[in-house]
Chain A
Amino acid sequence: MPTINLRGAQKNYGVNSANAVSNLDLEIRDGEFMCLLGPSGCGKTTTLRMIAGLENLSAGEIRIGDRVVDSIFDGVFVPPEKREMGLVFQSYALWPHLTIERNTDFGLRLRKLPKAEREARVEKVMQALDIAKYRDRYPSQLSGGQQQRVALARMLAVNPGVLLLDEPLSNLDARLRLEMRAELKRLHKEFKTTIVFVTHDQWEAMTLATTIAVMNEGTLQQMGTPNDIYDRPANRFVAEFVGSPPINILSFDKKAKSDVAKEAEAYLSNRYPGLLGIGSVGIRPEALSYATRKEDVPPGSFSGKMVVTGILPTGGSWILELKSDNHTLFLTTHALPRLELGEKVRFCAPPEALHVFDKDGQRIAEADKLLRSTKLN
């Protein structure tokens, strides 16, 4: 499948309503496993539906390779049935009046394939997804996980160039979800399809995707590999949306400046006087460590005094809640913390753990160069 290209794609429902998606540029390359990630209502499902052709654009255009499939300028709109894609719905949308086999067979019949080939292909995907034993049942007789497999099988049977998945795992229980994630990854390898996957679950995105596109309020926030997204969030929204427990944000805004933020401001202006225009600094909980004695603080790291107010075990790791007069920090540690509630500790963060954002919340790229090149002295 050639590259799918969205340019300036825009969608609004009805005049005067806010844009569900605005000015979206997105490129999905062949063989990619792309996750559209964002909170509910961010436009990710709309984007998926625009790619599928179930929604038409309000502005912009969509190309598949060189072929324009949707454009107001060219007056082109290729309907979904002619785009040769696969889409698995959140609700699965199995046809209740057809058996599992007929559900799987539906697309192949439309393509008027010879019977023998149809049967062979249906058999293959039903085997691959382990649903062959339910072939004569109706969708209502299957469990959620089985229905989900049928929905996948139905789309894989026609061997689409692109497989679109709209939160397909959100209706499954935790265990099944894990299994299906592995399954999806396997299918991606086996069938070599391009996959576009919509989810609001960052873990799902992190574990599955080769590329993640983070969206918020109808606009693209950042596109990159899972590591990019996590290690170099392009703005505060991405930084705060990805990661659990969420990133600690120290705001330099005059009205809301906490004592920890003041310390950070002093730290940065002392060591990196060239760094200006900072709006906020983010530190991931797992990048923080703590020290009970001053001499244990690694030299050159950003640190400050706080009080332990909470120790929350999460099974294998612990989340510490640290408080100063007017700030709360969360810290993740994998070693059993030998601390008492009320004990005074110092948190410490190496300079490269600091994500520096400007006053508009955008990442300051220069800061990375400065902070990540300096070796601790």
Chain B
Amino acid sequence: MDIFLQQLINSLSVASVTILIGMGITLIFGLAGIVNFAHGEFLMVGGMVTWLLVMAGVNFFIAMFGAMAAVGVLGYVAERTLFRFTLNRPMNGFIMSIGLSVILQNVVIKALNEVQKSIPDPIAKVWVIGGVDIIAMRAIVVAITVVVVAITYFGITRSRYGVALRASVSDQDTAALMGIPVRRYVTGVFIYGSVLAGLGGALMIALFPITPFTGSVVIIRGFAVSLIGGLGNVGGAVVGGLVLGLVDALSAQYGYPQWTDAYSLVVMIVILILRPQGLLGGTLGPRAT
């Protein structure tokens, strides 16, 4: 049982990174209507920026904010120079984003190299709670994710900006008639989702080494998470991340761990067949009337 608990907490920290990337995708896809297949590379860039800063002697937690800012700027530039022109043709945007992901991968390989990068444990403590060894950094990753999820959830459901955002998603024209600058909200959501990818990258490199190819692995899980939960639904991304985390934990303990990704995708397929709108239900992106 103790081993299972440890495994569960380890899985929760991995699930946290998955939740962050899934939440970014779910917001950008479900609310801004943009399918950004380069979102995984955004996370990878966040991890690389963290690595560069930490190697330059910057404290990890400051480097984490640096990664969020850098990927936020990357998202802003990508939205203003690329995705803004494909808003009415999401399929074109999707294809373009595949190109963007290849470019980002190769730019990173050119600028650095293909070798995997890691940083020393930012906090190398182990807490023992009730006989269970908890690696401190993993607990901190979970805690940061919980805070970010809470901020995002209440921001969307309670704040004035969240209400305006949801109004823009359900009916662009009528939202504009309320005086809501719909375009600016689309840009804002894209930047916010990108910042989450930057944070995910920083937290990921705090847990494991990453390579320039990490993005293409996490993007599949990210889309799985957002589809399992329901597009545009923050709670859904959390549920989706936890479902995949649980599958990870169980397969690592009781199944064949090398099949983890296959289990996750089978779970996604089964859920989408039974509930096409996702477990918690989602949007279909902004619609013009």
Chains A and B are bound partners: no
